[in-house]
């Protein structure tokens, strides 16, 4: 058991995944995850839908994860796509402070640019100021179109607002952006998708070229074609490709813990000293089991 690797997936949208995914992730060695606030595929139309969504990230999803021995953390923010509905965005900005101090909220995110509109820029900057005031880590979503320019602009705006680059995770990187991000002292995260963005093999090549400092692997698994096991699969490919185990641990576990653990809410003791699993528990009278026999695992018997 001591040689079994542990993984953190610091960007996975479990709201859109099934309970079977939690079970598979736990079996693959994922001990903790971070769920960033994001766009749900169609625009929300009223502030109450944001409120219910954020509440699920600090309530229902941590419970669902706990039923399989996984620690669930999240980041809270107004995503870039929905920043373009300014009337609604104003209401969401007023809502955000209600959630920033919740016990599993480890950063403001994912925020940034999509089409790089003036409205996106406005609300990105407002949330950066919020992060600075609260001394919180920021998780930045870089645009999928015109990525390099959008990534450079994201970092420039962060620096303009006086953020320490070590407090900012720039996500959705690729080979075109990684050097710029690392050279400026920011943390470079990579979302591993089966067909697009970064694939497993490309991620291995990045680590071989740039090393493991300030590099994070995540799945960004969501409601689209994606893989919640991308982190352990990439780790295995790294090992099989000759990358030293210490570098695999850093990119698939330790760097995420160091980056998102800065506010003290995410601690290694959370899973190294587990509370056990008790599937007899309910959340608002709901169980994840649907009639299956509940498992109860005594933490003193976990090895």
Six-digit token string for 54: 């954020």
The mean pLDDT value of the chain amounts to 91
In this prediction, residues 125-130 reach a mean pLDDT of 98
Domains of the chain: 7-301 (3.20.20.140)
Percentage of the chain modeled with pLDDT above 70: 90
| Other CB atoms within 10 A of residue 205 CB | 13
H-helix or E-strand spanning residue 128: helix 118-134
DSSP 303: -
In this prediction, residues 106-134 reach a mean pLDDT of 97
Does the pLDDT of residue 120 top 90, yes or no? yes
Please give the distance of CA 113 from its chain centroid, rounded to a whole number. 17
Residue 1's pLDDT is 35
Contact 60, 283 (CB under 8 A): yes
The β-bridge partners of 189 are 216
- Confidence at 33, pLDDT banded by 50, 70, 90: very high
- Confidence at 295, pLDDT banded by 50, 70, 90: confident
Percentage helix, strand, coil, to 5, in the chain?
A: 45, 15, 40
Give pLDDT tens digits for 178-193: 999 999 999 999 999 7
Residue 2's pLDDT is 46
In this prediction, residues 180-207 reach a mean pLDDT of 86
Residue 221's pLDDT is 85
Give pLDDT tens digits for 65-105: 999 999 999 999 999 999 999 999 999 999 999 999 999 99
Does the pLDDT of residue 223 top 60, yes or no? yes
Give pLDDT tens digits for 133-160: 999 999 999 988 889 999 999 999 999 9
Does the pLDDT of residue 55 top 60, yes or no? yes
Give pLDDT tens digits for 246-290: 999 999 999 999 999 999 999 999 999 867 677 667 666 566 766
Residue 297's pLDDT is 73
Give pLDDT tens digits for 225-234: 889 999 999 9
**Model pTM score:** 0.91
CA atoms of 223 and 119, how far apart (whole Å): 26
């Amino acid at each position: 058991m001591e040689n079994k690797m542990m993984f953190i997936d610091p960007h996975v949208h479990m709201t859109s995944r099934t309970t079977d995914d939690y079970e598979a992730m736990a079996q693959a060695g994922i001990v903790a995850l971070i769920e960033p606030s994001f766009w749900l595929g169609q625009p929300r139309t009223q502030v109450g839908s944001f409120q219910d969504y954020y509440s699920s990230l600090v309530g229902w999803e941590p419970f669902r994860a706990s039923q399989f021995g996984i620690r669930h953390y999240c980041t809270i923010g107004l995503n870039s796509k929905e920043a373009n509905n300014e009337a609604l965005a104003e209401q969401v900005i007023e809502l955000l402070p209600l959630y920033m101090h919740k016990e599993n909220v480890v950063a403001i995110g994912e925020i940034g640019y999509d089409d790089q509109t003036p409205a996106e820029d406005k609300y990105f900057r407002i949330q950066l100021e919020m992060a600075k005031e609260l001394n919180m880590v920021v998780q930045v979503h870089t645009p999928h179109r015109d990525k390099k320019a959008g990534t450079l602009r994201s970092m420039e705006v962060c620096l303009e607002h006086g953020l320490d680059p070590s407090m900012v995770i720039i996500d959705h990187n690729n080979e075109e952006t990684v050097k710029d991000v690392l050279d400026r002292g920011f943390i470079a995260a990579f979302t591993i998708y089966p067909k697009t963005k970064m694939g497993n093999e490309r991620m291995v090549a990045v680590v071989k070229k740039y090393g493991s400092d300030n590099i994070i692997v995540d799945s960004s698994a969501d409601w689209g074609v994606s893989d919640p096991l991308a982190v352990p699969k990439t780790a295995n490919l790294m090992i099989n490709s000759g990358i030293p185990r210490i570098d695999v641990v850093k990119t698939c576990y330790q760097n995420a813990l160091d980056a998102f653990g800065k506010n003290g809410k995410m601690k290694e003791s959370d899973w190294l000293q587990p509370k056990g699993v008790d599937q007899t528990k309910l959340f608002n009278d709901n169980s994840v089991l649907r009639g299956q026999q509940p498992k109860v695992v005594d933490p003193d018997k976990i090895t």
